[in-house]
Structure 1
Amino acid sequence: MSTAVAPRAVITGWSAVSPYGIGADAFAEGLRSGRPTAAPVDTARWKVPGTRAHLVPGFETREVLGKKGTRSMDRVTGLAVAAVGSLLERPGADRDAETGERAALVLATTTGSAASMMDFTRSSLVGDRPYDVDPAVMPNAVMNCAAGQCAIWYGIKGPNTTLAGGRAASLLSLNYATRLLSSGRADTVLCAAAEEYSAARYWLERHARGAEAPGVPLGEGAAVLLVEPADRLAPRRPRLAEVLAVRTRVATGNLVRGALDACVRSALDAAGVHPRQVWAAVAGDAPGLLGHLEREVLTEVCGNAALDRVPAVGRIGDVSAASGSFQIAVLLATAAGDPEAAGRIAVVTSADRDGSLACAVLRLGGAS
């Protein structure tokens, strides 16, 4: 009796809205230059103490996307819509295949827009009556607003999913995307992640971290991957990376090290890869002790050389739920400039302080 093997998924395109600017080219150029992106925050605008952050330069939703349909759009939605648009408008894009009935969208997030949720709730509490709220703002307070707006703007009519998983959300979304393809629910998946900067997020992070890593500045942005099934890929379609395996674990406290080690090794086993074959290991750079632990585990499993081949995602700040997608973007941008990267193995990990752990194994160049 034979068992059918689900076809693997291939990343065929990517783009980003990041502290380096809008688009994949801006992100890749920023990585090559190594220029810093942290800058003092306008305390009057953001209503936070004097601090530094990695903001998308000059990003104003209505200026980037236009005035139509953006009057009440919040920042995280604007970032997500802009990132998806930059992917769909890239050279060589196939809008017929990447949008429409057979295209899906999966968006990774922490909570959606914490600022919109808090502002809407506050307006109900401070108004003369609880229902004195702006109905145009209410959609922003729903976690899946950004994903819904991306679908509406670009005619993505397949499955539309929002996954809230903190720092692990991006890799969880990549895993979900591969399941949509293997089950035949979609022919292409836009796998996105977005995180905004706001006073609400600043204070939530400041209190959640406590005394641990108080000086790590927040970052913001959105990154999106185009994922397609390898067995139905057109001959001229780029094969940037093949998704060999994604595995997850849940652990907290003293159990994290062992669980993360097991997660990485399980993903490598599922991919049929020996740790010595790993060319690049990309850590999520979680603030504080968790980030140090993640790097220690990857060093033990994959070696120092693998960790040194790709720039740290932390150079654009703490982008939380978007970190995994940005890690893959960093990996793809680096591999594009290194002829030795083709066909090599990369490991990408995420570790969230609430206990979610994830590891993806990719083969660069999309060799099948």
Structure 2
Amino acid sequence: MRRVVITGLGAVSPVGIGADVFAAAIRAGEVGTTPIESFDASAFPRRKAGQVLDFEPSDHLKRLDPARWGRSGLLAAAAARLAVADAGIGEGELDAARAGAIMGTTSGESAVVQDLAAQWVAGGLDTIDGELAGQTPASRIASAVSTELRLTGETQTIPTACSASNYALGYAFDLVRSGEAEVMLAGGADAVNRLTHAGFYALGAMAEDVPRPFAADRSGIVTGEGGAVLVLETYEHATTRGARIYAEILGYAANCDASHMVHPDATSIAACIRAAHEAAGVEPSQIDYICAHGTGTPTNDATEVAAARAVFGERIPPISSIKSMLGHTMGAASGFGAIACCKALEQDFLPPTANVTDADPELGEGVDCVPGSGRAARLGIVQNHGFAFGGNNVITILGRVS
């Protein structure tokens, strides 16, 4: 099998646009949650989200007409443009490499559906904008990437909710490793919208102010948005063109709890971790850092730590959550996690858990959640978690390339 490496990173996030800006903000522990602006949230007791406030699609896109695409698709396409530029790969090279796009999402274009619903309520069914309705299919998120970059390879949107970016990375990894493509773009995108916000509020899963993963006073998530895209290619293709390599994808694993729609299962997650290690050919002792799913809910964080303890024993690697800074960016979450992992490998630091001073003692001894701001560390192999409602778990293992 061919080796697969990551050579380009594109981040359109609540803490900044561009991989370098994103990495600097993450390392500093900057928090990007602000009062919601994309819809009227005045009726909700919880009114914050991780929003990309300075996003102007026309600043990044060359082919897509922003008026004809939903916000999730625009976030994805802009992140893809940034990733390709970061990789230093031209459109002619993408075409020759049979490049395609695999993107994940939770809510698709629910922000568009929100606007359609407002039209219906205000003026009746006959007033709905047909062209706007055409923007609703979730498939358009990956299509936005391929249309913007003229990618003629496989294009697919994977709607497995909050683990979807890791699913996309895994599937793109398989396509490149098997020889079906030399280059693939993979990641995820979601936009802040009323439906997702209301759903998590109804579940009682929203934080009162900011997310505090792993803290004793953690109370839930803050919804977020963004586009996260990574360029994957064969090691041979990357070295032949002299590309900078951030990391090698050593392997991944996916499974399903098959038990409860919203409550995670520690035994199942532990099995996924073990399967990912086996696929990557690594031992638990070789993992230097875990980029946690880390939602900030009492149950989810406790379950994730219990699963890690079942695999690592008392030596749990440093485990932190960038959701403390971005909010929960849904289908983009593990894509941002992968970007953070790549930058951590490149720049020798542990991404932090912001808004936290110490890990909850109830999680047990030895939980280093890297509180506050990033910490210098030489990392060799890192583990990126993505979990979702329905029990969909995906874990990717990334390693430094000498």
TM-score by length of 2: 0.80
CA–CA distance in structure 2, aligned partners of residues 52 and 349 of structure 1: 24
Cα 1:284–1:134 shift into 2, 3 Å: same
- What letter corresponds to residue 336 of structure 1 in structure 2? E
Verify the 8 A CA contact 2:294 2:321 in the aligned structure 1.
no
**Aligned-residue RMSD, C-alpha:** 2.8
Q: Counterparts of 1:261-300 in structure 2 under 5 Å? A: 261-288=270-297, 289-300=299-310
Question: Corresponding residue for 1:113?
Answer: 109
Cα 1:48–1:193 shift into 2, 3 Å: farther
Task: Tell whether 2:235 aligns with 1:230.
Answer: yes
Question: Corresponding residue for 1:181?
Answer: 176
How far apart are residue 336 of structure 1 and its match?
1.8
CA–CA distance in structure 2, aligned partners of residues 159 and 22 of structure 1: 27
Q: 2:73 aligns with which of 67, 74, 77?
A: 77
Verify the 8 A CA contact 1:282 1:327 in the aligned structure 2.
yes
- After the TM superposition, which of the residue ranges 112-121 and 91-100 deviates more from structure 2? 91-100
Q: 1:33 aligns with which of 28, 33, 48?
A: 28
Question: Corresponding residue for 2:393?
Answer: 357
Question: Corresponding residue for 2:224?
Answer: 219
Structure 2 residues not aligned, in runs of 5+: 209-220, 350-376
Q: 1:326 aligns with which of 336, 344, 350?
A: 336
Per-residue CA distance 1:237-274 (angstroms, 9 max, x = gap): 22211111111111135881111111101211222211
How far apart are residue 147 of structure 1 and its match?
1.6
How far apart are residue 312 of structure 1 and its match?
3.2
Cα 1:337–1:44 shift into 2, 3 Å: closer
CA–CA distance in structure 1, aligned partners of residues 248 and 63 of structure 2: 38
CA–CA distance in structure 1, aligned partners of residues 3 and 391 of structure 2: 28
Cα 1:144–1:100 shift into 2, 3 Å: farther
CA–CA distance in structure 2, aligned partners of residues 245 and 44 of structure 1: 40
- What letter corresponds to residue 192 of structure 1 in structure 2? G
Among all aligned residue pairs of Structure 1 and Structure 2, give the percentage whose two residues are the same amino acid: 24
Per-residue CA distance 1:141-167 (angstroms, 9 max, x = gap): 111112212211221111111100011
How far apart are residue 212 of structure 1 and its match?
3.5
Cα 1:306–1:227 shift into 2, 3 Å: farther
CA–CA distance in structure 1, aligned partners of residues 314 and 115 of structure 2: 45
Verify the 8 A CA contact 1:261 1:301 in the aligned structure 2.
yes
Per-residue CA distance 1:114-164 (angstroms, 9 max, x = gap): 122344366567755x55532211221111112212211221111111100
- After the TM superposition, which of the residue ranges 235-244 and 13-22 deviates more from structure 2? 235-244
How far apart are residue 72 of structure 1 and its match?
3.6
- Corresponding residue pairs, total: 357
Verify the 8 A CA contact 1:299 1:307 in the aligned structure 2.
no
Cα 1:219–1:303 shift into 2, 3 Å: farther
Question: Corresponding residue for 1:257?
Answer: 266
Verify the 8 A CA contact 2:99 2:153 in the aligned structure 1.
yes
Q: Counterparts of 1:28-107 in structure 2 under 5 Å? A: 28-42=23-37, 45=40, 49=44, 51-61=47-57, 65=61, 69-90=65-86, 92-99=88-95, 102-107=98-103
Cα 1:219–1:352 shift into 2, 3 Å: same
CA–CA distance in structure 1, aligned partners of residues 142 and 64 of structure 2: 18
Task: Tell whether 2:278 aligns with 1:242.
Answer: no
Per-residue CA distance 1:146-190 (angstroms, 9 max, x = gap): 221221122111111110001111111111102222333221000
- After the TM superposition, which of the residue ranges 59-68 and 251-260 deviates more from structure 2? 59-68
Verify the 8 A CA contact 1:100 1:158 in the aligned structure 2.
no
- What letter corresponds to residue 250 of structure 2 in structure 1? L
Structure 1 residue runs of 4+, over 6 Å off? none
How far apart are residue 328 of structure 1 and its match?
1.0
Question: Corresponding residue for 1:10?
Answer: 5
- What letter corresponds to residue 102 of structure 2 in structure 1? V
Per-residue CA distance 1:199-240 (angstroms, 9 max, x = gap): 232112222xx2244532111111111001224433422221
- After the TM superposition, which of the residue ranges 119-128 and 266-275 deviates more from structure 2? 119-128
Cα 1:192–1:255 shift into 2, 3 Å: closer
Q: Secondary structure at the match of 2:390?
A: coil
TM-score by length of 1: 0.87
